[in-house]
Structure formats: structure tokens, C-alpha cells
Amino acid sequence: MKGLTGSVLRSIETLTEDARTFKPLMVPDITFADVPCSGLGTLSRKPDIKWKKEVEDIPALVTLQREILENAASFTRPGGVIVYSTCTIEPDENYENIEWFLEEYPEFELDRAEKYLHKDVCQDGYMITFPHIHNCSGAFAARLVKKG
């Protein structure tokens, strides 16, 4: 894999596994949970989504997203990080999932996005973009750190 400087990155390993049950052989410093979602933040680029998704689909997606978060929590070491992201603007797939997670897993805390990103894409500690405001796809991300 070529980096921006043209060097080869040897510290990244990619695998294809079920994110609900995957157990890494070595505990990672950071787990990126770019979860399956409704994709409603990408309607301007993928207008066919509005014919393929139903409101009834979202609860099943939320369940899947939470299962992935729970699994990631099971192998995150103290001081380790989970970065949760979606390409949707649906609250139940975004900050409501994170609020649920932090309540269920009090050993984790939100590492506020404002520490890393421009304030224009930050809201309540999360990275959030909206097509009509930011002139890009709608997206969400939260950085969760395991205390200790």
C-alpha cells in the first residue's frame, strides 16, 4: 500500500471477517468500525437509495451496528480507541447509538471531535456533516476511548 510520501505502510493489516464475531490475534490500538448503514447521507450521489431503503430497515441496521460496537469493545484494551462511522444522517444510527454504547459500556468515553477537526464539522463532540451545509455527503463519526 502506497502512502502519501510514496513509502510502503507495513503496520496495517486488512482482513475480511464478520465484524460482529471477529476476534483479532493481536489487540489493535485502534479499531475502525465503519458500520453498514442506511446510506442516507449519500442521497445526492446515490439517489436510488431512496427506492431501496424503508424506514422499517433502520431498526435492523441499528441492531447490527450495536453488535459490531459490542464486539469491538470486547477486544479494546485500556487506552485503546474505537472510531465509529456511518454515511448517514439518521440520529438512531449515529449519536443515539453512541449514547446507548456509552451507557452500556461506562469504561469508554467520547473523545471529542473538536480536538482533531475544524469546528464547522463538529457538534456535541461528534464529527457530523450535512450535504446542505457542508457541500459533501452526510456522515458521522465518534472516537471512543477505553478508560484506564
Catalytic site residues?
87
Q: Please report the DSSP string for 91-143 in residue order.
A: GGGTHHHHHHHHHH-TTEEEE-GGGTS-GGGEETTEEEE-HHHHSS--EEEEE
Instruction: Say how far apart CA 135 and CA 120 lie, in whole Å.
Output: 12
The conformation of residue 77, written as its DSSP 8-state character, comes to P
